[in-house]
Amino acid sequence: MKKISVVLFLVVFSFLSIVCKKDEIKNENKVNNVEESVIYDLAFERDGMIFVANFQKNILDSLFEGFNPALSPDGHYLAFTDYNGGKRHVTIYDFNTKKRIPINIPNDNNYGPIWSPDGKLIAFNIFYNNNWYIAVANKENTTIRIITDKIKRGTYSPSWLSDSKKLLVHDLDYIYLVDLDGNILKKYFVNDIAKDLLVSSQTRFIMSSDEKKLFFSAGLDEDSDDFDEPPEAIFYYDFNLKKLNRLSPKGLYCAEIILKNDSILYFYAAKDNEEPFSIYSINIFEKKPILLVKNGSSLSVSINR
């Protein structure tokens, strides 16, 4: 196991759930500075800036320039990718102290943080020794471990399982279930899951808590005059039935999903090239997208709030 020692302050987090309705954030021009003592439900990108929202209090706050925002499980902290002089660093922002603390590792190309459900770990993509890996930092930030060094090809887009002890990663050809020591527990052929869909390094596969369904968004060969490239849609694969199911409707370009309570997916989407991406949710049983915030992409939520 490869290890990289680091020093960084993090705080233990616990996830909070989101309860929101379609019209809870109505005025897109009503943007505030970060509120004191607010627990945030949603973080997203807009025009290169990071925004955070609290649905119950109808608050939409702007933060700073950044990418790939990831709310901590308790909504008090934010991990994000900071671009500085062509370098990418995973950085933590403390809503209480207003301090930004980069993860202190000898690497200038790491991005895309994602918190474990128990709030103790954070996984991210890292380019190291001329290859892409997935690394995991502990909550105290005394150690960073590269956990996909047993996979020969580059690995991408990690997602946590509900026990916070395992992750899904992929190398475009295979999806791997790995533990925190980098052991490969299971291996799935991408074409068996995604069939003829277009999977990229940005595709994130998310497992349901019972490990019976696998959710993801992927491109598909679908005729559309509204997009310049093959649109993406949201799917899930049922392991018991060995069946691929589409969740999002035709005509809605969908990307970057987040699963809550095994029943609700959050994602960003657009209806055509002229429309900016917006934030939606969809119940996997009802399959009807609900608009949450206009003009937003690259989102995260406090899943258990």
- What CATH number does residue 131 fall under? 2.120.10.30
Domain containing 113 equals 2-301
Q: In degrees to the nearest 10, what's the CA dihedral of 121, 186, 132, 205?
A: -70
Amino acid in position 144:
I
Rounded Cα distance between 112 and 108, Å, is: 13
Residue 1: what pLDDT? Answer: 42
Quick count: other Cβ atoms within 10 Å of Cβ 26? Answer: 11
Our CA angle for 70, 168, 174, nearest 5°, is 130
Residue 171: what pLDDT? Answer: 97
Residue 36: what pLDDT? Answer: 58
Residue 228: what pLDDT? Answer: 63
Query: Which residues of the chain carry a pLDDT beneath 70?
Result: 1-37, 139, 223-230, 273-274, 303-305
CA distances from 15 to 12, 41, 48, 302 (A): 10, 10, 26, 6
Rounded Cα distance between 91 and 81, Å, is: 6
Residue 126: what pLDDT? Answer: 96
Residue 303: what pLDDT? Answer: 67
115 touches 70 (CB < 8 A) = yes
Domain tally, the chain:
1
Residue 115: what pLDDT? Answer: 94
Residue 185: what pLDDT? Answer: 98
Residue 305: what pLDDT? Answer: 63
Residue 226: what pLDDT? Answer: 62
